[in-house]
Chain A
């Protein structure tokens, strides 16, 4: 079962994990991305491409379901403005055993960074700046090809 959500509302971790546990899996793996509190960043703004974003995330979740023996895959990405310490993204996988769940969870967050149309803008005391992609993200995503 796949759940994909792109929403300005805060991510409810307990609700998402409970839904994965209800799949009857032996193992749940999760990753939560949080707005950094370093570098003087006061807020983060996430822009996305409505329609394409949801389709790209569904395609990633389906690829993970095919590649590993998963009982569930969840991708929840927040959009809009959020402040330091708030959750940006949640990825969760449910499988019979830990290895499938852990590997699929890593795969999803690695590929999400390069394969879904989101753009981050950091707000600092002096103004705003668009975040540049990191070469290490592209390498991590390419590792799964």
Chain B
């Protein structure tokens, strides 16, 4: 099923785009799987996603751990740790 990917801050800069629609295979079950699969799409993806420990994620606009199952996710966001306030 199609998932809208969103990238923010330096993840967006390295990927080279802020948004894309993807259709990962069924073996991609959780966020960590997705990061691994996405990192092979382009050099930019590889540069942004090579160190998953530096990434945080949200599924359908809720913060989740990288072990979170994608389930029926429609929107997944990848970004660095937040620094607001």
Contacts and interface: CB of A to CB of B under 8 A. Distances in A.
A49 B84 contact: no
B84 A121 contact: no
17 contacts: A47-B8, A47-B9, A52-B58, A88-B85, A89-B85, A109-B85, A113-B82, A114-B82, A116-B82, A117-B63, A117-B79, A118-B82, A118-B85, A119-B8, A120-B83, A130-B10, A132-B81
Contacts of A115: 63, 82
Contacts of B58: 49, 52, 117
B19 to A, nearest CB: 11
A76 to B, nearest CB: 12
B77 A52 contact: yes
B84 A116 contact: yes
B44 interface: no
Contacts of A131: 83
A55 interface: yes
Contacts of A120: 83-84
Interface size class of chain B, counting residues whose CB lies under 8 Å from the partner chain: 10 to 19
A77 B85 CA distance: 8
B3 to A, nearest CB: 16
A109 B84 CA distance: 10
A49 B79 contact: yes
A112 interface: yes
A121 to B, nearest CB: 7
Nearest to A91: B85
A51 B61 CA distance: 8
A118 B83 contact: yes
Interface string A111-145: 01111111111000000001111000100000000
Nearest to A59: B62
Contacts of A48: 8, 84
A46 interface: yes
Interface in B69-85: 77, 79-85
